[in-house]
Structure 1
Amino acid sequence: MQKPDNTYVEPPVDTGFDEPGALSSDEAREQVASLREAIRYHDHRYYVENDPVISDKTYDALYARLEALEDGFGFEDENSPTQRVGGEPLDELETREHVVEMLSLDSSEDEGEVRSFGANVRDVCGDVGYHVEPKFDGLSVELVYEDGELEAAVTRGDGVVGEDVTANLRTVGSVPLRLRDAPDEVVVRGEILMPKEGFQDLNRRRVERGDEPFANPRNAAAGTVRLLDPSVVADRPLEVYVYDVLRTSADVASQTEAVELVESLGFLVDDDSALVDDVDGFVGYRDEMLDRRDELGYEIDGVVAKVDSFDARDRLGETSAHPRWAFAYKFPAKTDVTRVTDIAVQVGRTGKLTPVALLEPVDVDGVTISRASLHNQKQVRELGVSEGARVEVERAGDVIPQVKEVTDDADDGFSMPESCPVCGSDTIREDEHHYCTGGVACPAQLRSRLEHFGSRDGMDIEGIGEEVAASLVDEGLVSDLPDLYELTVDEVAALEGFGERSARKLIDEIEAGKDTDLVSFVTALGVRHVGRERARKLADAFRLDQLREATVGEVRRVEDVGDEVAESVVGFFGGRGGETVDSLLAHGVEPQREETGDALEGTKVVFTGSVEGYTRRELTDLLEKNGADVTSSVSGETDYLVAGENPGENKIEDAREHGVETLDEEGFQERVLSRVD
Structure 2
Amino acid sequence: MYSLESINFQNKSPEQIGELLIEAKKAYYTSGKPIMDDHTYDTLEEILRLKLPNHRIFTKVGHPNFDTGFDKLAHIMPMGSQNKVTNIADLVHYFELKFNNLNNYSSPLVKGRIEGGFIVQPKCDGISVELIYKNSVLINAITRGDGQIGDVITQNIVKMKNFIKNPKDFTGSVRCEIMVTKKDFEKLNQHVGTHYNAFLPNNDTIFYSNPRNAASGLSQRLDSKYSEYCSLYAVDIYPNLSTVNDEIKFLQQLGFTTVESTLCHNFNQIENIYQQFLIKNR
TM-score normalized by the length of structure 2: 0.65
Aligned residue number for residue 177 of structure 1: 165
* Count of residues in correspondence between the two structures: 196
Task: Give the alignment of 1:288-299 within 5 angstroms.
Answer: 288-292=276-280, 295-296=281-282
Contact 1:153 1:164 in 2 (8 A): yes
Task: Give the alignment of 1:527-676 within 5 angstroms.
Answer: none
Q: Does 1:197 align with 2:183?
A: yes
Structure 1 residues 285 and 227: CA distance shift in structure 2, 3 A: same
Aligned residue number for residue 134 of structure 1: 122
* Cα deviation 1:293-326 (Å, max 9, x = unaligned): xx21xxxxxxxxxxxxxxxxxxxxxxxxxxxxxx
Distance 1:289 1:94 in 2: 37
Paired residue for 1:111, among 88, 102, 105?
88
Contact 2:131 2:175 in 1 (8 A): yes
Distance 1:243 1:94 in 2: 24
Q: Determine helix, strand or coil for the equivalent of 1:153.
A: strand
Q: Does 1:254 align with 2:243?
A: yes
Q: CA deviation at 1:157?
A: 0.6
Query: Considering only aligned residues, what root-mean-square deviation do their CA atoms show, in Å?
Result: 1.8
Q: Does 1:153 align with 2:141?
A: yes
Distance 1:142 1:100 in 2: 8
Q: CA deviation at 1:138?
A: 0.3
Task: Give the alignment of 1:332-347 within 5 angstroms.
Answer: none
Structure 1 residues 135 and 188: CA distance shift in structure 2, 3 A: same
Structure 1 residues 186 and 125: CA distance shift in structure 2, 3 A: farther
Q: Does 1:267 align with 2:261?
A: no
Distance 2:122 2:78 in 1: 22
Distance 2:271 2:99 in 1: 16
Contact 1:188 1:247 in 2 (8 A): no
* Cα deviation 1:596-655 (Å, max 9, x = unaligned): xxxxxxxxxxxxxxxxxxxxxxxxxxxxxxxxxxxxxxxxxxxxxxxxxxxxxxxxxxxx
**Which letter maps to 2:255?**
G
Distance 1:263 1:191 in 2: 15
Aligned residue number for residue 238 of structure 1: 230
Q: Does 1:93 align with 2:82?
A: no
Q: Determine helix, strand or coil for the equivalent of 1:243.
A: strand
Instruction: Identify unmatched segments of 5+ residues in structure 1.
Output: 1-90, 297-677
Contact 1:96 1:164 in 2 (8 A): yes
Task: Give the alignment of 1:390-409 within 5 angstroms.
Answer: none
Contact 1:140 1:156 in 2 (8 A): yes
Aligned residue number for residue 41 of structure 2: none
Distance 2:165 2:229 in 1: 18
Distance 2:99 2:220 in 1: 41
Distance 1:265 1:203 in 2: 33
Distance 1:287 1:202 in 2: 30
Q: Determine helix, strand or coil for the equivalent of 1:219.
A: helix
Contact 1:118 1:279 in 2 (8 A): no
Q: Does 1:188 align with 2:182?
A: no
Distance 2:207 2:143 in 1: 23
Q: CA deviation at 1:92?
A: 3.0
Distance 1:291 1:281 in 2: 16
Aligned residue number for residue 12 of structure 2: none
**Which letter maps to 2:216?**
A
**Which letter maps to 1:150?**
L
Structure 1 residues 203 and 233: CA distance shift in structure 2, 3 A: closer
Q: CA deviation at 1:173?
A: 3.3
Tell me the percent identity: 25
Is the radius of gyration larger for structure 1 or structure 2?
Answer: 1
Distance 1:132 1:121 in 2: 17
Distance 1:111 1:125 in 2: 17
Distance 2:221 2:73 in 1: 17
Q: Determine helix, strand or coil for the equivalent of 1:240.
A: strand
Distance 1:233 1:186 in 2: 28
Instruction: Identify unmatched segments of 5+ residues in structure 2.
Output: 1-67, 101-105, 109-113, 198-204
Aligned residue number for residue 217 of structure 1: 211
Contact 2:96 2:107 in 1 (8 A): no
Contact 2:161 2:229 in 1 (8 A): no
Q: CA deviation at 1:121?
A: 4.8
Task: Give the alignment of 1:260-659 within 5 angstroms.
Answer: 260-270=249-259, 272-292=260-280, 295-296=281-282
Contact 1:195 1:217 in 2 (8 A): yes
Aligned residue number for residue 206 of structure 1: 192
Distance 2:187 2:180 in 1: 11
Q: CA deviation at 1:285?
A: 1.1
Contact 1:192 1:238 in 2 (8 A): yes
Distance 1:256 1:284 in 2: 20
Q: Determine helix, strand or coil for the equivalent of 2:256.
A: coil
TM-score normalized by the length of structure 1: 0.28
Paired residue for 1:144, among 115, 121, 132?
132
Distance 1:228 1:215 in 2: 20
Distance 1:167 1:281 in 2: 41
Q: Determine helix, strand or coil for the equivalent of 1:107.
A: coil
